[in-house]
Chains A and B, each alone.
Chain A
Amino acid sequence: MAIQQWLVAQLAEVLSIDPSTIEAQQPLTRYGLDSIDAVTLVGDLEDWLDLELPSTLLWDYPTVEKAASYLVEEFDVSV
Chain B
Amino acid sequence: MEQLKQYNLAQQLEADLGDPRDRTQRMSFAQTAAIDESEVFPDAEIAWLYDYGLQDYYVPTSSGGQFTSFEEFVAFVRVLSRRDLNIAIAFTTMFWSFLTWMAGTESQKQTLSQRMRQEHLTMCLAYSEKEHGSDLVGGSVTATKVDGGYRLNGEKWPINRATISGLTYVLARTDPDGGNRGLSLFMVDKSQLDPSTYYNLPKIKTHGIRAADMSGIGFSDCFVPDSMLLGPEGHGLELALEGFQITRALCAAFSQGAADTCLRTTLNFAVNRQVYGKTVVDMPHARRTLTHAFLDILTCDCVNIAAARGFHVVPEQFSVWSAVDKYFVPVTLEQMMSDVSVVLGARFYMRDEHDSGVFQKMLRDSSIISVFDGSSVVNLHALILQRRQLAKARKRLKPEKMTAIYQRLARSFSLESPLPEFAPQKLELFSRGADDIPQGLPLLIEDLETMHGDGAPAVLTDVIELTKIILAQLDAQDEVIAQSAFEHGHEQSYESFELAKQYCRLHAAAACIYMWRYNRQHLGEFFNQGEWLVLCVHRLLSHFDVPLNPIPLEFYENVFQELLRLDREDKMFSIVPFQLARSTSTPPDTENHATASKLQLI
Instruction: Mark A residues whose CB is within 8 Å of B.
Output: 13-15, 27, 29, 32-40, 42-43, 46-47, 52, 55-56, 59-60, 62
Contact = CB atoms under 8 A, between A and B. Distances in A.
Interface in B33-85: none
Interface in B100-122: none
Given A37-B385, A46-B432, A59 B181 contact: yes
A36 B389 contact: no
B430 A43 contact: yes
Contacts of A27: 179
Contact of A39 (B179, B392, B429, B486): B429
Q: Which of B382, B386, B392, B430 has the most CB atoms of chain A within a 10 A radius of its CB?
A: B430
20 contacts: A14-B486, A29-B180, A33-B488, A33-B489, A34-B489, A34-B490, A35-B136, A35-B241, A36-B381, A37-B385, A38-B180, A40-B389, A43-B386, A43-B430, A47-B392, A52-B432, A55-B429, A56-B238, A59-B179, A59-B238
Leading 4 A-B pairs by shortest Cβ distance: A59-B180, A55-B429, A35-B180, A37-B488
B577 interface: no
A24 to B, nearest CB: 16
B484 to A, nearest CB: 13
Contacts of B386: 40, 43
Given A56-B429, A59-B179, A37 B389 contact: no
Chain B interface: which size bin? 20 to 34
B489 A43 contact: no
Given A29-B179, A34-B490, A43 B237 contact: no
A36 B179 contact: no
Nearest to A38: B180
B429 A32 contact: no
A55 B389 CA distance: 14
A36 B432 contact: no
A75 to B, nearest CB: 16
Given A40-B430, A59-B181, 14 more contacts: A14-B486, A15-B489, A33-B489, A34-B489, A34-B490, A36-B241, A38-B180, A43-B386, A52-B432, A55-B430, A56-B180, A56-B181, A59-B179, A62-B180
B204 interface: no
Interface of B: 136-137, 179-181, 237-238, 241, 381-382, 385-386, 389, 392, 428-430, 432-433, 486, 488-490
Contacts of A42: 430
Contacts of A38: 180
A30 B180 CA distance: 12
Contacts of B181: 56, 59-60, 62
A34 B486 contact: no
A34 B428 contact: no
A36 B244 CA distance: 14
A53 B47 CA distance: 47
Given A14-B488, A59-B180, A35 B432 contact: no
Contacts of B430: 39-40, 42-43, 55
Contacts of A59: 179-181, 237-238
A64 to B, nearest CB: 14
Contacts of A37: 385, 488-489
A59 B180 CA distance: 6
A40 B237 CA distance: 15
Nearest to A55: B429
A36 B431 CA distance: 12
A43 B429 contact: no
A62 B180 CA distance: 9
Given A27-B179, A43-B389, A47-B392, A32 B432 contact: no
Contacts of B389: 40, 43
Nearest to A15: B488
B179 A32 contact: no
A26 to B, nearest CB: 12
